[in-house]
Homo-oligomer: A and B are copies of this chain.
Amino acid sequence: MPLTLALVHHPVVNKRGETVVSSITNFDIHDIARSCRTYGLDRYFLVTPTEPQQWLARRIVRHWLEGWGAEYNSNRGEALQLIEVLATLDDVRRRCIELWGRPPRFAGTSARAQGGVLALEELRAMLEQPEEVTCLVFGTGWGLHPDLLRGLDFLLEPILGAGDYNHLSVRAAVAIYLDRLRGHVSKTP
A179's contact among B27, B78, B157, B176, by CB below 8 Å, is which?
B176
Q: Which residues of B have CB within 8 Å of A23?
A: none
- In angstroms, how far is the closest chain B Cβ from the Cβ of A111? 10
Of the listed stretches A29-37, A98-106, A128-136, chain B binds A29-37
Q: Which residues of B have CB within 8 Å of A178?
A: 161
Q: Which residues of B have CB within 8 Å of A169?
A: 27, 30-31, 34-35, 171
Q: Which residues of B have CB within 8 Å of A122?
A: 188
> Number of contacting residues on A, CB 8 A?
48
Is the beta-carbon distance between B37 and A167 smaller than 8 angstroms?
yes
Q: Which residues of B have CB within 8 Å of A168?
A: 34-35, 38, 175
Q: Which residues of B have CB within 8 Å of A172?
A: 31, 34-35, 38, 171-172, 174-175
**Copies of chain A in the complex:** 2
Q: Which A105-151 residues sit within 8 Å CB-CB of chain B? A: 119-122, 125
- In angstroms, how far is the closest chain B Cβ from the Cβ of A7? 14
**Which residues of A approach B to under 8 Å, CB–CB?**
15, 27, 30-31, 34-35, 37-40, 73, 75-76, 78-79, 119-122, 125, 157, 159-163, 165-169, 171-176, 178-180, 182-189
